């Protein structure tokens, strides 16, 4: 990927501009709705991951939300890597988010167990 194309993709991610050619900006209402949907999917994915992985996790609703959001990014990264062969970090759908949240929860537990 060339440097110019990479910089346009980064600008598109930061400013919410469609496509590499930056044709038109995404309206603020759609950005806000996308963030709300991502938060809801993250909360559902985190809750499902905590239900599917046996054991006790002392985290509240905020920890569950963060777990689901991290899981969404992990799931999107793995999905892009496996199916498209690219190292892009993007949000995943519900199934990818749950799989990523399970992975993130297992990593969290293994790191938490090593602290003294």
Tokens linked to 3: 């440097």
Q: What average pLDDT does this structure show over 54-81?
A: 85
- CB atoms < 10 A from the CB of 29, how many? 8
**pLDDT band of 34, cuts 50, 70, 90:** confident
Q: 99-112: string of b/e by CB count within 10 Å (b at 16+)?
A: bbbbbbbeebeeee
Q: Is this prediction's pTM over 0.85? A: no
CB atoms within 10 A of CB 96: 23
Q: Name which of 5, 26, 3, 30 is nearest 15 in CA terms.
A: 26
């Amino acid at each position: 990927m060339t440097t110019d194309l990479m910089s346009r993709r980064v600008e598109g991610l930061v400013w919410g501009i469609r496509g590499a050619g930056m044709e038109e900006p995404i309206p603020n209402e759609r950005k806000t709705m996308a963030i709300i949907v991502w938060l809801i999917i993250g909360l559902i994915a985190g809750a499902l991951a905590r239900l599917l992985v046996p054991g006790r996790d002392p985290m509240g609703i905020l920890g569950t939300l963060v777990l689901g959001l991290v899981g969404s990014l992990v799931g999107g990264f793995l999905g892009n890597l496996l199916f498209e062969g690219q190292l892009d970090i993007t949000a995943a759908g519900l199934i990818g988010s749950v799989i990523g949240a399970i992975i993130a929860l297992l990593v969290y537990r293994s790191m938490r167990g090593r602290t003294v």
